[in-house]
């Protein structure tokens, strides 16, 4: 916006300068030419009066006197002076193109002057190869023309002065544009400042900070009205998100008790039914556990989307090693080995509790993926989940690699969709919310998460990058 306002001021100024300065420059050039012609006419008239007697009565001393007068004027002014008799023959010339007698009667200004009229103007001289300004006046007495006096200047005398004036106008124009650009920038900043604060508030809200508000007491009335409507909208969104989170939390809390009671009843029924109903009881208990996991995942996802927790400094190396150790015994029951390869002393900046949930979800998914591979044995090294932490410059890289079936490119893209499960997963296994929770938690902490093929194209590697502390 600032650039557009400044550009608008500059374009408008350029138009005004062109409208004002171009006619001014053209008028100045014409004025310089007219002034010079007037001075030339006055001087030529003076010279004509001085040489009148010598031109009327030609003689050698008279011609010398005429040449002296013409040469004196030429030295003082730099003009070329030519004096002719009534036949147009040159009596004196301060800058003759060639020696010897010459006639100027063929020149239009000389013919006009011999007719008793003053001739002024400009023409191209083929003899000199340049544009000339000329004035030719008759040398006359008692109504009789006895000769002419012609004064000429190169047109460059005028064009040089006009060019200097154009240069002056250009300098004034540039200074004006710089001043206008500076003033326009200050005005644009003044206009844009309240909009900038509104933009900052919008960025904060977009990043998940629903407590951010735009100032309503700054800027023009239109901006204040827009800020008021923006704040009202954010307040409504905050209320809706809060009510949604409260509903999910309440629903999760309320569902835990009946699910626990249902699990106990199924266990009791399985014990009373004997061997015949034990398998059905175990399947029903598994479904209840899955439902409970789904309820807990929904609660975690709702809180992750809220994203209000401040970032703290977390010892990523120690925490990841601790979670890998905690999962080792659980995974071993399914024939899967969890190995930690952690670089010590690495710290990340994430909200409290986020890194634990991210690592737990990734390890849980990795173990489940390995279990889907038939014939897994720990001793063969097939059932392996590797958890790593490495330094990535200004970030900390956390990776979880499994030796499961992996995913194709389409599966990697869909894996972060809610309730999506790999085609190779067991029926009814998992909630399909693990990776969506991971992505929401990681992105809320300012990091990234992506899925890659494992080493040698075997299995899957989840890579999480978090800001380093």
User: What are the tens digits of pLDDT across the range 15-25?
Assistant: 988 888 888 88
- At 379 the pLDDT is 40
Q: Which residues of 395-422 are buried (b: 16+ CB within 10 A; e: fewer)?
A: bbbbbbbbbbbbbeeebbeebbeeeebb
Please, what are the domains in the chain?
2-160 (3.30.450.20), 209-308 (1.10.287.130), 310-467 (3.30.565.10)
Check pLDDT > 70 for residue 293: no
The residue count for the chain: 469
> Could you count the other beta carbons within 10 Å of the beta carbon of residue 378?
14
Mean residue pLDDT of the chain comes to 82
pLDDT band (50, 70, 90) for residue 377: very low
The partner residues of 103 in beta bridges, in order of sequence, read 89
Q: Indicate the pLDDT class of residue 388, thresholds 50, 70 and 90.
A: very high
pLDDT of residue 307: 55
pLDDT for residue 304: 59
Q: What pLDDT, on the 0 to 100 scale, is given for residue 148?
A: 92
Given a cut of 80, whether residue 256 has pLDDT beyond it is no
Least confident of 286-290, 357-361, 372-376: 372-376
Sequence-separated (6 or more) residues with CB below 8 Å from residue 40:
79, 120, 133, 134, 135, 151, 153
At residue 423 the predicted structure's pLDDT band, cuts being 50, 70 and 90, is low
Question: pLDDT over 70 for what percent of the chain?
Answer: 87
Tell me, what's the pLDDT at 464?
A: 92
pLDDT, tens digit, 9 for 90 and up, residues 223-234: 788 888 888 898
State the pLDDT confidence band at 376, using cuts at 50, 70 and 90. Answer: very low
Examine the pLDDT at 137 and tell me if it is beyond 90.
yes
The 10s digit of each residue's pLDDT in 181-219 is 898 888 888 877 777 888 888 888 877 777 788 888 877
Using the predicted structure, report yes or no on whether residue 265 has a pLDDT greater than 70: yes
Predicted pLDDT at 399: 92
Interval 102-125 mean pLDDT: 87
Mean pLDDT of 11-17: 89
pLDDT value for 155: 82
Lowest mean pLDDT among 104-113, 165-174, 351-360, 398-407: 351-360
Task: For Cα atoms 462, 468, 469, give the angle at the middle one, nearest 5 degrees.
Answer: 145
pLDDT band at 305 (very low <50, low <70, confident <90, very high): low
Residues above pLDDT 90, as percent of the chain = 12
Average pLDDT, integer, range 113-134: 83
Which residue has better confidence, 339 or 243? 339
pTM listed for this prediction: 0.45
Q: What is the mean pLDDT of residues 335-363?
A: 87
Mean pLDDT throughout 272-277?
A: 69
Tens of pLDDT, residues 427-458: 444 556 678 878 888 888 888 998 888 887 78
- pLDDT number for residue 369: 83
Q: According to the model, what pLDDT value does residue 422 have?
A: 64
Per-residue pLDDT, 398: 92
What is the SS3 string spanning the chain? CHHHHHHHHHHHHHHHHHHHHHHHHHHHHHHHHHHHHHHHHHHHHHHHHHHHHHHHCCCHHHHHHHHHHHHHHHHHHCCEEEEEECCCEEEEECCCCCCCCCECCCCHHHHHHHCCCCEEEEEEECCCCEEEEEEEEEEEECCEEEEEEEEEEECHHHHHHHHHHHHHHHHHHHHHHHHHHHHHHHHHHHHHHHHHHHHHHHHHHHCCCCCCCCCCCCCCHHHHHHHHHHHHHHHHHHHHHHHHHHHHHHHHHHHHHHHHHHHHHHHHHHHHHCHHHHHHHHHHHHHHHHHHHHHHHHHHHHHHHHCCCCEEEEEHHHHHHHHHHHHHHHHHCCCCEEEEEECCCCEEEEECCHHHHHHHHHHHHHHHHHHCCCCCCCCCCCCEEEEEEEECCCEEEEEEEECCCCCCHHHHHHCCCCCCCCCCCCCCCCCCCHHHHHHHHHHHCCCEEEEEECHHHCCEEEEEEEEEC
Bridge partners (DSSP) listed for residue 388: 341, 399
Residue that is written with structure tokens 């420059």 in the block: 25
């Amino acid at each position: 916006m600032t650039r557009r306002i400044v550009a608008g001021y500059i374009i408008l100024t350029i138009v005004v300068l062109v409208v004002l300065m171009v006619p001014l420059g053209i008028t100045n050039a014409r004025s310089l030419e007219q002034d010079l012609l007037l001075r030339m006419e006055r001087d030529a008239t003076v010279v004509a009066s001085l040489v009148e007697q010598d031109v009327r009565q030609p003689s050698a001393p008279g011609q010398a006197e005429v040449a002296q007068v013409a040469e004196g004027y030429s030295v003082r002014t730099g003009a070329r002076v030519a004096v002719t008799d009534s036949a147009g023959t040159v009596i004196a010339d301060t800058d003759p193109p060639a020696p010897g007698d010459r006639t100027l009667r063929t020149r239009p200004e000389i013919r006009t002057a011999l007719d008793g009229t003053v001739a002024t103007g400009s023409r191209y001289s083929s003899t000199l190869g340049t544009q000339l300004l000329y004035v030719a006046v008759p040398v006359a007495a008692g109504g009789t023309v006895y000769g002419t006096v012609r004064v000429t200047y190169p047109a460059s005398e005028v064009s040089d002065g006009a060019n200097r004036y154009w240069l002056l106008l250009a300098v004034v124009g540039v200074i004006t544009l710089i001043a206008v650009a500076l003033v326009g920038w200050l005005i644009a900043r003044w206009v844009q400042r309240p909009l900038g604060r509104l933009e900052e508030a919008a960025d904060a809200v977009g990043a998940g900070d629903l407590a951010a508000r735009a100032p309503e007491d700054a800027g023009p009335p239109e901006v204040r009205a827009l800020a008021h409507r923006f704040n009202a909208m954010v307040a409504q969104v905050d209320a809706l998100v809060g009510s949604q989170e409260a509903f999910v939390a309440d629903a999760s809390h309320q569902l835990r008790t009946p699910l626990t009671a249902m699990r106990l009843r199924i266990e009791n029924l399985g014990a009373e039914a004997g061997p015949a109903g034990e398998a059905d009881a175990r399947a029903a208990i598994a479904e209840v556990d899955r439902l409970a996991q789904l309820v807990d995942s929904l609660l975690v996802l709702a809180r992750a989307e809220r994203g209000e927790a401040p970032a703290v400094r977390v010892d990523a190396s120690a925490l990841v090693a601790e979670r890998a150790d905690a999962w080792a015994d659980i995974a071993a029951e399914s024939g899967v080995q969890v190995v930690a390869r952690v670089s010590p002393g690495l710290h990340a900046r994430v909200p409290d509790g986020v890194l634990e949930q991210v690592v737990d979800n990734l390890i849980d998914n990795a173990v489940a993926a390995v279990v889907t591979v038939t014939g897994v044995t720990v001793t063969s090294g097939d059932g392996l989940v590797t958890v790593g932490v490495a330094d990535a410059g200004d970030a900390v890289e956390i990776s979880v690699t499994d030796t499961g079936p992996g995913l194709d490119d389409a599966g990697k893209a869909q894996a972060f969709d809610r309730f999506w499960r790999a085609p190779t997963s067991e029926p009814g296994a998992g909630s399909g919310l693990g990776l969506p929770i991971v992505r929401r938690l990681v992105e809320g902490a300012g990091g990234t998460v992506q899925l890659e093929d494992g080493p040698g194209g075997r299995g899957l590697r989840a890579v999480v990058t978090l800001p380093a502390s």
